[in-house]
Amino acid sequence: MKAVIPAAGLGTRFLPATKAQPKEMLPVFNKPTIQYVVEEAVNSGIDDIIIITGKGKRPIEDHFDKSFELEYNLKQKGKLDYLKEVQGISNLADIFYVRQKKQNGLGDAISCAKKHIGDEPFAVLLGDTITYSDTPCTKQLIDVYEKYGGSTIAIEELPERKIERYGIVDGVTVEDNIYKVKNLVEKPKLEDAPSNLGITGRYILTPDIFDKLESIEAGVGGEIQLTDAINEQENVYATTFEGTIYDIGNTMEWLKSSIDMALTQEDEVKEEVLDYLRQKVQEYQ
């Protein structure tokens, strides 16, 4: 299976940090956001990845490229741990890039991958969303896809204040944590939301999605919405993701993700972060 990582969005919610750098390159603890996303795909068994980029997204390509000069310098200085890490990044996966020429929504961005994907099911991982779990989120989706066969969406239970920012699922339970989708509503008003189950930014899509994307009209925000195209598909399932999700485009979630990732590091780092947090709690109490 191949993966598509849309990374063409403007990052408006994170200005001014994203004025001259892609939001997907914002570091979460010690790695750029999109590296976590690529690693999730790789850890789910996918090594053929297409990233949909746009204006100002060149640093993403540079990050996954080989850097001869940097490698030479690190070798000369005997910084072999860094050398190994830097080489690992450029060997993670086969990554291809396509530029979305006009900001026309997530659905339009996915259409840009049509030629590369062909007639196979594929994974979609939003480039500004990272997940943390024992079994990678995309692998959890692949397992459900292999059982039920239709497009499969990862969902999470949302607090009310978040509902208007997400695609929301109307579904029927088929087994624990798995729903057959009746309808998806993109960014509804709270009172119109069919449930509190929100689309988290991880999908397995069957290839008929490309025809659906061509046939739909612009939706919410005047953009081609992936959610609307999935609504046109016959057999769609949703499954509750077991793990934690961070939408990095949101400053508060970005901050939490950095703290959480620091807490997954070796004991020394973890203790220093916890000490600092305890000290802050005392100061502000």
Least gap, CB of 78 to ligand G1P (angstroms): 43
Minimal distance, residue 106 CB to ligand G1P, in Å: 5
Indicate the residue among 247 and 262 with the shorter CB distance to ligand G1P: 247
Cβ atoms within 10 Å, residue 66: 11
Q: Is residue 247 within the footprint of ligand G1P (CB under 6 A)?
A: yes
CB 95 within 8 A of CB 64: yes
User: Whole-number minimum distance, CB 154 to ligand G1P, in Å?
Assistant: 10
Looking at beta carbons, which residue is closest to ligand G1P?
A: 167
Question: Binding mask 60-99 vs ligand G1P (x if CB under 6 A, - otherwise)?
Answer: ----------------------------------------
**CA distances from residue 218 to 41, 47, 225, 228, 229 in whole angstroms, order as listed:** 29, 32, 7, 9, 10
Task: Supply the minimum distance, in Å, between the C-beta of residue 107 and ligand G1P.
Answer: 8
CB of 139 to ligand G1P, least distance (A): 19
Q: Is 112 in the site for ligand G1P (CB under 6 A)?
A: no
d(C-alpha 256, C-alpha 154), whole Å:
21
3-state secondary structure labels for all residues of 124-151: EECCCEEEECCCCHHHHHHHHHHHHCCE
121 contributes a contact to ligand G1P by CB under 6 A? no
d(CA 66, CA 111): 28
Instruction: Output the smallest distance, CB 33 to ligand G1P, in A.
Output: 13
Of the pair 121, 198, the CB lying nearest ligand G1P is at 198
Is residue 19 within 8 Å of 67, Cβ to Cβ? no
For residue 16, cis peptide bond before it (omega within 30 degrees of 0): yes
Task: Give the count of beta carbons closer than 10 Å to the beta carbon of residue 285.
Answer: 5
Task: Provide the residue type at 3 as one letter.
Answer: A
Work out how close the CB of 59 gets to ligand G1P at its nearest, in angstroms, rounded to a whole number. 20
Interatomic CA distance for residues 1 and 18, integer angstroms: 32
Which member of 18, 129, 138, 231 binds ligand G1P (CB under 6 A)?
129
Please give the residues from 161 up to 220 whose contact with ligand G1P meets the rule CB under 6 A. Answer: 166-167, 186, 198-201
Give the residue with the Cβ less far from ligand G1P, 22 or 198: 198
Nearest-angstrom CA–CA distance, 180 and 152: 9
Q: Which is nearer to ligand G1P, 46 or 229 (CB)?
A: 229
Q: What is the sign, positive or negative, of the torsion defined by CA atoms of 171, 246, 65, 101?
A: positive
What number of chain residues touch ligand G1P (CB under 6 A)? 14
Phi, psi of 275 (to 5 degrees): -60, -45
Contacts with ligand G1P, residue ranges (CB under 6 A):
106, 126, 129, 166-167, 186, 198-201, 225-227, 247
